[in-house]
């Protein structure tokens, strides 16, 4: 494991002062692994998340989540690269941190996995085009396929 990350609490704009009170205290522990050899690369990350809800928020209890992905890349030639990634998210539907009052059937969104296939063409160091197709599977929505075409470039 190359890097280990641990965060006890994160607050946006903490240096400007705290407004209100913390509704959920979050602990996060994550690890990543990266391996490259010639044309093949492997990248994987895993995160353990613990959310402690304040009394009166959701059920006021502690909930645990697990999120991870594994990605395999293959450099076809100097310009083209193929990537496959598997992603998985599993969390307790009673966790107030993930709560969304607009969701109907919220009790079924506690797991999701996704298969992502991508083909990238690097025109130069600062200009690339990528075609990505992902197949998501959630308990609530079933299977959904999404295709994106992305152009990334850097302007100097």
Residue-wise pLDDT for 34-79, tens only, equals 999 999 999 999 999 998 888 877 777 888 889 999 999 999 999 9
91 belongs to a structural domain? yes
Identify the residue with better confidence: 66 or 93: 66
Average pLDDT, the chain: 80
Mean pLDDT of 17-35: 82
Task: Let me know if residue 97 belongs to a domain.
Answer: yes
Pairing of strands 127-138, 111-124: antiparallel
pTM for the whole structure: 0.70
Domain count, the chain: 1
Q: Which residues of 66-94 are buried (b: 16+ CB within 10 A; e: fewer)?
A: ebbbebebebeeeeebebebebebebbbe
Beta bridge partners of 149: 131
Q: Identify the band that residue 138 occupies on the pLDDT scale cut at 50, 70 and 90.
A: confident
Residue 85 lies in a domain: yes
Domain assignment of residue 78, yes or no: yes
């Amino acid at each position: 494991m190359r890097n280990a990350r641990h965060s006890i609490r994160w607050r946006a704009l903490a240096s400007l002062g705290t407004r209100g009170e913390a509704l959920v205290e979050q602990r996060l522990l994550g690890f990543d692994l990266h391996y490259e050899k010639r044309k093949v690369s492997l990248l994987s990350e895993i995160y353990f998340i613990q959310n402690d809800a304040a009394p009166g928020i959701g059920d006021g209890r502690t909930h645990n989540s697990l999120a991870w992905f594994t990605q395999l890349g293959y450099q076809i030639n100097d310009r083209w690269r193929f990537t496959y990634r598997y992603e998985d998210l599993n969390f307790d539907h009673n966790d107030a941190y993930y709560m969304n009052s607009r969701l109907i059937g919220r009790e079924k969104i506690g797991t999701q996995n996704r298969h992502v296939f991508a083909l990238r063409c690097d025109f130069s160091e600062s200009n690339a085009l990528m075609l990505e197709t992902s197949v998501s599977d959630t308990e609530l929505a079933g299977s959904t396929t999404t295709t994106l075409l992305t152009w990334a470039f850097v302007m100097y």
